């Protein structure tokens, strides 16, 4: 006899109005709409009695003790149902021959075998390599893509079409902007007018900072220079971030790793995300507290990425923000990546 907690192969009834969901990840089976329970002290075919009925709006887990059923593997059992269906409805439960636990144990042993080299590893196609290998961290992706070398060279200035391509790939992969789900009165909402044209353009710096952004006209202190997350991409987990980078060339992926960073409190319920602007804003360099000439003026409330000139800025001057608000210059050592398994 075995106490069964999860792997019911099949449930059938002469009324067919409930669904079974099997969740291998959670190692549990769920019944939705209606919930099967064993009856206390029933008779006849019933194992321990009854099936009581529960109309549930949310699924209830079979791994719950309510559903512990003693059985033999491969055995057929019948449970009479009361309330759930009409009194005399029979529900047949056929238990899987192999329980999930046994299967999981074998899978775990094979997996460990692969990891420690006891089991000969077949040549793994790239598409399934993560089944056998732990997914790469940010540093591993950075070094495997040869980013150290790539980023030493002069990097290109991206055109609007190239930025758009990054945003399109992200959208095609199911990317969603969490700020669209902010409530109307959320203080993080941007107040940037939809037609705001940022008064800066990317170009190469001459002081060894790579690319930067430069004022395309004189900008008055207090003027808005950027706003909102219209061009941002967001990732809620390390896997979607990896998948995005996988769609890009080494050169592009190395750049994107530099242009994106993890941050707390961005999602509608304060979730952390990895995000970054996919426009020239990504090339803004750090001026530290002292030399930053754009940012959120002291005492002013600023929505997400609403930035203002902190002093008068001349045409051609580099626009610098203060990175300490977001991330460190040495982005690879930014501890928060670890929260995403990166
Ligand atoms: C978001 S990118 C900015 C664009 C970058 N200059 C480029 O060409 O890719 C951030 C990176 O720029 C570089 N950077 C930004 N501000 C800097 C500064 N004040 N001094 C030196 N490097 C800086 C650092 O390498 C940093 O990781």
Domains of the chain: which residue ranges?
A: 2-97, 102-132, 138-340
Predicted confidence at residue 111, as pLDDT, reads 81
Residue 175 CB burial class (10 angstroms; 0-12, 13-18, ≥19) = middle
Dist CA 246 CA 170 (whole Å): 11
Q: Indicate the pLDDT class of residue 175, thresholds 50, 70 and 90.
A: very high
Instruction: Give the number of the atom of ligand 1 that is nearest the alpha carbon of residue 210.
Output: 8
Average pLDDT estimate for 154-175: 96
308, 222 contact by CB (below 8 A): yes
Q: Per-residue pLDDT for 286 more than 60?
A: yes
CB-based contacts of 91: which residues, under 8 Å, 6+ apart?
11, 12, 13, 36, 51, 78, 79, 80, 81, 84, 85
Atom of ligand 1 nearest to the CA of 259: 1
Give residue-wise pLDDT tens across range 208-253. 999 999 999 999 999 999 999 999 999 999 999 999 999 999 999 9
Q: 292 pLDDT band (50/70/90 cuts)?
A: very high
Question: Ligand 1 center to residue 329 CA distance, Å?
Answer: 7
Fold of the domain built from segment(s) 138-340: Beta-clip-like (2.170.270)
Nearest CA to ligand 1 atom 24: 329
Cβ-Cβ contacts under 8 Å for 21 (sequence gap 6 or more): 29, 30, 31, 32, 59
Residue 331 CB–ligand 1 contact under 6 Å: yes
Task: Count CB atoms within 10 A of the CB of residue 168.
Answer: 12
**What is the average pLDDT across 100-125?**
72
pLDDT higher than threshold 90 for residue 14: no
The reported pLDDT for the residue numbered 151 is 94
What atom of ligand 1 comes closest to residue 151's alpha carbon? 9
Could you tell me the pLDDT band of residue 100, with boundaries at 50, 70 and 90?
low
Q: How far apart are CA 26 and CA 337, in angstroms?
A: 25
Q: Which of 53-62, 81-90, 322-331 has the lowest mean pLDDT?
A: 53-62
ipTM: 0.96
Q: Mean pLDDT across the chain, nearest whole number?
A: 75
Residue 139: strand pairing partners? none
CB 333: neighbour CB atoms within 10 A? 10
- How far is the C-alpha of 91 from the C-alpha of 264, rounded, in Å? 49
What pLDDT is recorded for position 65?
29
- Mean pLDDT (whole number) for 54-69: 33
Question: What whole-number percentage of the chain has pLDDT above 90?
Answer: 50
- For 301-325, the pLDDT digits (tens) are 999 889 999 999 999 999 999 988 7
Nearest Cα residue to 170 out of 258, 260, 254, 251 = 260
pLDDT reported for residue 328: 66
Read off the pLDDT band of 58 (50, 70, 90): very low
| Range 178-206 average pLDDT | 93
User: 263-276 burial by CB neighbour count: b if 16+ within 10 A, else e?
Assistant: beebeeeeebbbbb
- Among 21-35, 44-58, 121-135, 281-295, where is mean pLDDT lowest? 44-58
- Under the banding of pLDDT at 50, 70 and 90, the label for residue 125 is low
Of 210, 251, 290, 320, which is best to mutate to test ligand 1, by the most ligand atoms within 8 angstroms of its C-beta?
210
């Amino acid at each position: 006899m075995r106490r069964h907690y999860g792997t019911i192969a099949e449930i059938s009834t002469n009324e067919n109005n409930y669904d079974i969901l099997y969740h291998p990840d959670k190692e549990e089976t769920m019944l939705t709409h209606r919930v099967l329970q064993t009856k206390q002290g029933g008779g006849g075919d019933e194992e321990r009695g009854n099936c009581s009925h529960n109309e549930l709006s949310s699924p209830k887990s079979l791994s719950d003790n309510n559903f512990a059923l003693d059985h033999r593997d491969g055995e057929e059992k019948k449970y009479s149902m009361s309330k759930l269906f009409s009194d005399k409805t029979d529900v047949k439960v056929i238990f899987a021959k192999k329980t999930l636990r046994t299967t999981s144990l074998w899978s775990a042993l094979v997996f460990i075998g692969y990891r420690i080299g006891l089991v000969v590893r077949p040549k793994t196609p790239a598409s399934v390599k993560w089944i056998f290998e732990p997914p790469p961290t940010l540093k591993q992706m950075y070094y495997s893509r040869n980013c150290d070398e790539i980023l030493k060279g002069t990097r290109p200035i991206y055109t609007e079409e190239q930025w758009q391509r990054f945003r399109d790939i992200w959208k095609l992969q199911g990317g969603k902007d969490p700020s669209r789900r902010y409530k109307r009165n959320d203080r993080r909402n941007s107040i940037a007018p939809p037609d705001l044209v940022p008064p800066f353009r990317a170009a190469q710096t001459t002081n060894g900072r790579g690319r930067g952004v430069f004022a395309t006209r004189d900008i008055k202190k207090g003027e808005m220079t950027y706003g909102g997350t219209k061009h941002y991409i967001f990732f809620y987990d390390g896997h979607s971030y990896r998948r995005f980078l996988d769609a890009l060339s080494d050169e592009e992926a190395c750049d994107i790793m530099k242009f994106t960073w993890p941050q707390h409190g961005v999602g509608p319920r304060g979730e952390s995300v990895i995000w970054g602007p996919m426009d020239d804003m990504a090339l803004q360099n750090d001026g530290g507290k002292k030399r930053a000439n754009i940012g959120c003026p002291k005492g002013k409330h600023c929505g997400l990425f609403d930035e203002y000139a902190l002093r008068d800025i001349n045409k051609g001057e580099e626009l610098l923000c203060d990175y300490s608000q977001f991330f460190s210059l040495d982005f690879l050592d930014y501890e928060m990546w670890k929260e995403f398994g990166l």
